[in-house]
Structure 1
Amino acid sequence: MHKSIPPGLTTAQSLLLWYQVIAACPDAAHRRADWWRNTMNIVWVLMTHAGSDMVTKPWSGATWEKLAREAGVSRSTLADRLRWLRVHGFLSTLLSGSTPALRAGRRGLRDGLGNLAAQYALTIPEAVLEAMDPEERESLVPPVPEVVPERWEDVPWPVETLPVDVTRTPRVSPYVGERSISPVHAREGDQDRAPRKNHAPAPASSAPATPEPAWPATVTPVTKSQRLQACQRLRRDDPVLRKMPEKHLRSLLRPLFQAGATVSDVKHAFNVQPDGRPWPYTDDPRWLPGWVRWRVAAWADDDGTLRAPLPSQVRAEANRVRLLEQARRAERTAREQENRGAPDPVALAQLKVYLHGLARDTRRSRTALV
């Protein structure tokens, strides 16, 4: 008997969206690598047995034995991962599997159907979809292809022949602009080898196009177009980020950009933790969007609140303190020079008389000793 999808769940709009939501599940963060690897193998096998309606097909023979064999896991591991998917709302059982001996209404008699596979619906919790960024969700859902009528439908009826594809090689025109070319079957003669006197040289090509300037690494992008240029700079500098579309990357980096991050700050966040320790590197990310989201969440909340100051902010604060200290030092020097007036002439004359008398007394004492 077919069951309906429980409330609060909805059928996944695409296999890529379903895979990405599972990869970003917070419960998988503390799991071991082998647990996660077996889980994603089972997820992949379920995707290969699902149709366009995101429901596995019983006629494909996707029994537990076949699913476990294709995923390379045991039946107990398969049962545990299917339970995990159902608990988190990523899978809904529409039809339970059965055997001839235990099938309802058959009283243990064989009906010729053999073992019937269960039928699963690939689902996503509605709360998870509402929490996702709209641009990110749209990038994971392929557009609906436009229905294009067949060529024969455009031909009026009745007809004697239908249009066929042309398979012959088209004739190449012997003239290209102002320059003529010889037919491909013509043999080159001696006169063809000689330089043509009246042949005008090919027009000089225009100046080579200069590459579009990249977004500066030390400037904070503010608008959506500026953030898109910053993501283009990141994809150009980092080969790992080239695997992700620039609009998807802009959506994931929005918390950092809202906090005032530059391209250099984003690179720092991808390589260094907020406490200053480097991120451990073992292998390429299994799922790049989840990896980027995890690194960004370690530095900033969804609303752009930073957990630690960014390197550009640290440098800006140090520069502000340095300029403030220089201004205070210049003000103190100017005040001292202002208070330091011209010497009093009377006091200067008295000082000269005193020093002159002191020198005279010193000479007398030396003469008396001799």
Structure 2
Amino acid sequence: MPEGMRRAPSQQAFIRAVKQHADALTLKCHAYRNLTEVAGKLADWADWTTLTTRPTEQRIADDLDLALSTVKRWIRWLREHGFLGVVEEGTTVRFRRGNRCGLDDDGHGNRAAVWVLCVPAPELDDHYLRTDKTTTEPPSCTSRRGVQEGPTHAREERSTPRRRNRISTTTEATATPGTRKHALQIAQKIHDASTTLRRLSPWYIRHLTRVFVAAGWTAGDVLHALDHQPDGAAWTYTWTSRDQIRNVPGWVRFRLSMWLDEHGRPLPGKSQRLAAAAAKLRAEQAVMREQFEAMNARRVGGPVELPPRLSRAEALAPPPVRVRGSGSGPSAAYRAARTALDEKRLGEAHRVAASTS
């Protein structure tokens, strides 16, 4: 048991003590969130009677969708501040001594570390053991009700999702374009769409992309710029996992810096380029339409009337087949001309016969 600490009376008391610590209240919003979530996950795995917990750091990272280095950092913070007492150090096959086959005395493989949840002793600070459930949090962070409303025991299921979306991304009309709220909504979309940027908070993403969002970029434009260069060539990746990127903010700054001109102003994004190309095409079509109408008006004999446009079914339909014996026949003008021609031939025949006789 760490000096000045005692075993936590319950899991909620442990979480409340961590959240109300003076050093925790000075953290930034995303760091405070990660700390409380790691502490909550340790409490979820704790035994009801002994308040000992032994989840692996990799299991916590997978459940919380955090980097393994982030989980190790906050577990080290909890140990340094006395909130975790070490019952048994974790061991691996590589570092276990006196065992050639890679198994311990019980025949098992790697052993996870065992910690006991601790809170400050009452004689040192009664502030950590308040019975009320009010929580003081950093002024930059909204209260994380998801941690307070979590399960009391490790095997109890949560009634609400682990993460609550505190940023409205569906009601775009509520945020005026160009405002900080609108930029935060775009940052939340980027956070949800990218597994790499999910390691950063939406507020940090807004800080990294504020210049581009102010220039009219969308979330899709930012994600496209992170994967492509301004000339359209795709970036090549030399890493196989997002955990191999140690400095995600620096990686984002480098990729987005390629989309700045010599004056430091953002280049047009993908959506802006597509909109400009569509507007140029519409303008060219309008000019061609005006030229055709002017040429048609100057034509001798008046404008040319184009035949009506047929539908696809009418254009593909076969021509009508005339059936013999039907009621349709030659027109009256054709029959009159044929009768006049026959009479003329008959008169010439009579004249020829009279001259020979």
TM exceeds 0.5? no
Give the TM-score normalised by the residue count of structure 2. Answer: 0.35
Give the TM-score normalised by the residue count of structure 1. Answer: 0.34
